[in-house]
Structure 1
Amino acid sequence: MDFDVELLQKMINTVVADAVDKAIERHAFKNTLPPVLTKEQLMDLLDIKVTKTTELLNREDFPVTRELGRPRVLTHLLLLWIEDHTDWVRENVGEKSRLKKGVA
């Protein structure tokens, strides 16, 4: 079997460059968010109304803290929670498997 090593290297470089670009975009997005979200900021970020927000804040598995007086959501935990609760992840990775911590 013959293959063009140069063409293969170009394809690999393209895929790696795309992956790096996407990782940089995700990182930049995360850095524009405050470290802790209020209820109103959570509603704006997720584009949801009061009822759904209240429902989320009362879920046992939702990353909310009430130690600061009113309910607050730690942004990095929210992004991990969203990743863990995405249908695609459950269907393709499985319930018991987890993506690497810190990658959102």
Structure 2
Amino acid sequence: MSTNIFKMDFDVELLQKMINTVVADAVDKAIERHAFKNSLPPVLTKAQLMDLFDIKGTKATELLNRKDFPVIRDFGRPRVPTNSLMIWIDEHTDWVRENAGEKSRLKKGVA
């Protein structure tokens, strides 16, 4: 009986450099996202939403009327909670749908 044994050699230093690079990139992106989120008000007006997305009023109205879009209507005019908007964006990104599937959802609060 012969057994095939695979042997792999790793360059530990190279592997550690690769891990460090990936982690550093992830941290940089998280910092950028955090800084961007903190530069926005906690609740957006329609005009701010239009400016943020670089869209016109018709498209903004369409978004605000979607059932799955995060909107608060208790202030007289529709307002969009910034944190919920960031989660909505992550959940509706094409990459997530294509690679994680419709049933897979990002953790709430991670945006």
Question: What TM-score do you get using the length of structure 1 for normalisation?
Answer: 0.94
Asked whether 1:33 is paired with 2:40, we answer yes
Q: Which residue of 1 is the match for residue 51 of structure 2?
A: 44
Opposite residue 69 of structure 2, the aligned amino acid is: F
Q: Distance in 2 between matches of 1:94 and 1:101?
A: 16
**Deviation of the 1:2 alpha carbon:** 2.3
- Measure how far apart 1:66 and its partner are: 0.8
Q: Unmatched 5+ residue regions in structure 2?
A: 1-7
Q: Does 1:54 pair with 2:54?
A: no
Shift of 1:100: 1.4
In structure 2, the residue matched to 1:21 is 28
Q: Which runs of 4+ in 1 moved over 3 A?
A: none
Q: How many residues align?
A: 104
After TM superposition, the score normalised by the length of structure 2 is: 0.88
Higher Rg: 2
| Unmatched segments (≥5 aa) in structure 1 | none
The correspondence of residues 5-20 of structure 1 with structure 2, limited to 5 A, is 5-20=12-27
Q: What amino acid is aligned across from residue 67 of structure 2 in structure 1? A: E
SS in 1 for 2:80: strand
2-structure distance, mates of 1:4, 1:16: 18
String of CA shifts for 1:32-67, please: whole Å, max 9, x gaps.
000000010000001000100111111111111110
